[in-house]
Amino acid sequence: MPHQLEAIDFAMKRPSSLLWLKQGTGKTLIGLGIASKQDKTLIICPRSLVFNWKQEASKAFPDLKVGVFLSAMTNKSASKKLLEEYRNLKMCDVVVAGYESTLKLTLGKLKAFTCVIFDEVQRIKNHKSEHYKHLFKCLGKNPPKKMVGMSGTPFPNDVSEAWPIYRMLENDEFVFTDKYPSISAFRKKFQTLQRTQTVYTKRNQILQIPVYSGFINKTEYQKIFSPVTFRKEIDMGLGKLTEQDLRITAKISNALLENLKQGFFNDGYDLENFQTARRYSAISKAKAAAEYVMDGNEPAVVFSCYPEAIERTEKVLTEGGLKCVSLASEDDSRERSRKVKAFQDGEFDVIMGTQGVMSEGYTLTRAALVVLIDMDPRPKTNEQAIYRIYRKGQTKPCRAVFLSHSDVDSRIIEITTNKNRHIDKIEESM
C-alpha cells in the first residue's frame, strides 16, 4: 500500500526514525520491507509476536532467511541450546527476538547487525529496566547504521515516555541526550508539575508521586522530533467503529466502594485497598459481560485487566454453550499463535485475555465486537485492545463496549480522557 512504501522510504533516508502509525496499518510488512534492504537486521518485539513476524516474512518475503531467538533462560542446562541458537542465527538475514531475550545478546552478537528495529517501541519506555539498560549500553558502544522504532501508541501514558524512546534511537546525526541528559530535564522543558499526590502503601509507607500536566512546548517538540518521526493518518477503508459505555448494575460490597471513592476523591489514598476495589469491581461484572456476549450471538473478543474476571466470564460463557479460548500469561508464543489462529479459523466463538497479554500485535478480525469488562487507566492500552478487531482485513462495522459500574468506573473514564487529551497534543505537533 502507498503509506507502507512511504514509511519505508522515510526510514531508509534516515539513520534513526520513529514510525508512528495506527494499529492495523501493516507495520510488520513495513519493518520487513526495511529489513529486506539491509545486510543483517535484528527485530526486537514482544515475545508473544516473534513467530508472527516469521510467519509474515514467509508470505511476503520468502527469500529472506528469518531466525527466531527465544533464549531468556539463565540456568546452565540451557547453555547448549543457547549456543545452537547462536550458530543458527549466523546464517539468517533477519533475527527476531523478544525484548526479554535481548539480555542474552551480548555486545559481540549485536555488532553483527547493521539495522535494529523496535516493534511496539513503547516497550522500552522504562529506562530503568534491565533490558533497556543492556540494549542502550551495547548499542551505544557500537551503534548500527540504522535504528527504527514502530508503534501505534509510542507514548501510551505520559508525554515523558518519549524521552527513553528517542534516547535509544539516538546516533551521531540525531543528537538528543546532550540537550536533555535526563528525564527530569525533558519534563522541565515539555511539562509542568501540576501537583504532588500522597499515596499510602501497605506497612504505612508514604509515597509522594508527582503528577504532571500538559504538553507545554509544542514548537520545540516539533523542531526536534518531527524530522525523525513519520506520522500519517491513513484511511484503511474500514467500516464504522462505535465505542459505547454500557452502564450496568453489578453486585459489589459497600466497603469496597468506599475504598475506591476514598482513593479517587481524597488527597491521599490507600494504594492496596484501591487496587483491591478495582479488581473486585471487575470480577463482579463477569456475569454481565458473558450475558452481553451471548445476547449478541456473534464472535467476540473479551478483555479485562484481571485474570479472575476472565476466568469467571469464560465459565459463564461455557455453561451457556459457547466455545471459548483464553490467552494466558504462561502461554508461550507458539501456543498463543495457535489459539489466535484457531479463533480466526472459526474453532471458537470467543477469545479472551488480559490487556497485558492480548492487546498488542494480534489480528482478530473474525470478530467485530470487543467487550472491555474494565478499563485500563492507561488509555492507549485500551486503544490497542480495541484495534485487535479494527484493522486491515476487517470487513464489518465494529463495536467496542465498556461495561461500567456507575459508582466505580466513572473516575477511570475521567482519568483516561485527561491522559488522552495530553497525548493528543503530541499527535497534533507531528
User: What's the pLDDT tens digit per position in 253-275?
Assistant: 565 555 555 544 444 445 556 67
Specify whether 155 is located in the same domain as 274. Answer: no
pLDDT-derived band of residue 252, with 50, 70 and 90 as boundaries? low
Q: What's the mean pLDDT in 187-201?
A: 62
Per the CB < 8 A criterion, the answer to whether 366 and 303 are in contact is no
Q: What's the mean pLDDT in 162-171?
A: 85
What is residue 364's predicted lDDT score, i.e. its pLDDT? 92
Q: Which domain holds residue 356?
A: 241-429
Residue 113 in domain: yes
Specify whether 246 is located in the same domain as 170. Answer: no
Specify whether 253 is located in the same domain as 176. Answer: no
Residue 218 has pLDDT above 70, yes or no: no
Amino acid at 363: T
Residue 361's region, left for phi above 0, alpha for psi from -120 to 50, else beta, is left
What is residue 75's predicted lDDT score, i.e. its pLDDT? 45
4-13, 52-61, 102-111, 209-218: range with lowest mean pLDDT: 209-218
Specify whether 6 is located in the same domain as 127. Answer: yes
Of 160, 180, 200, the residue that ends a domain is 180
Residues present in the chain in total: 430
Percent helix, percent strand, percent coil in the chain, to nearest 5: 45, 20, 35
Residue 199 in domain: no
First-to-last C-alpha distance (Å) of the chain: 22
Specify whether 268 is located in the same domain as 411. Answer: yes
Count of CA atoms in the C-beta half-sphere (13 A) of 274: 17
Specify whether 55 is located in the same domain as 153. Answer: yes
- DSSP reduced 3-state for 215: coil
pLDDT-derived band of residue 426, with 50, 70 and 90 as boundaries? low
Residue 246 in domain: yes
Q: Give phi and psi for 338, each to the nearest 5.
A: -65, -45
Amino acid at 7: A
In CATH, what number is assigned to the domain containing residue 176?
Answer: 3.40.50.10810
Specify whether 249 is located in the same domain as 159. Answer: no
C-alpha angle 421-426-429 in degrees, rounded to nearest 5: 125
Specify whether 148 is located in the same domain as 68. Answer: yes
Report the Cα 231 to chain-centroid distance in Å: 18
**The total number of structural domains that make up the chain:** 2
What burial class does residue 80 get, using C-beta atoms within 10 Å of its C-beta: 0-12 exposed, 13-18 middle, 19+ buried? exposed
Q: Give phi and psi for 197, each to the nearest 5.
A: -105, 135
For residue 211, give the nearest of 186, 199, 193, 189 by alpha carbon: 193
Amino acid at 74: T
User: pTM of the full predicted structure?
Assistant: 0.76
Of 134, 162, 180, the residue that ends a domain is 180
DSSP H/E element including 199: strand 192-200
Q: How far is CA 291 from CA 51, 193, 247, 332, in A?
A: 34, 44, 14, 30
261-265, 351-355, 366-370: range with lowest mean pLDDT: 261-265
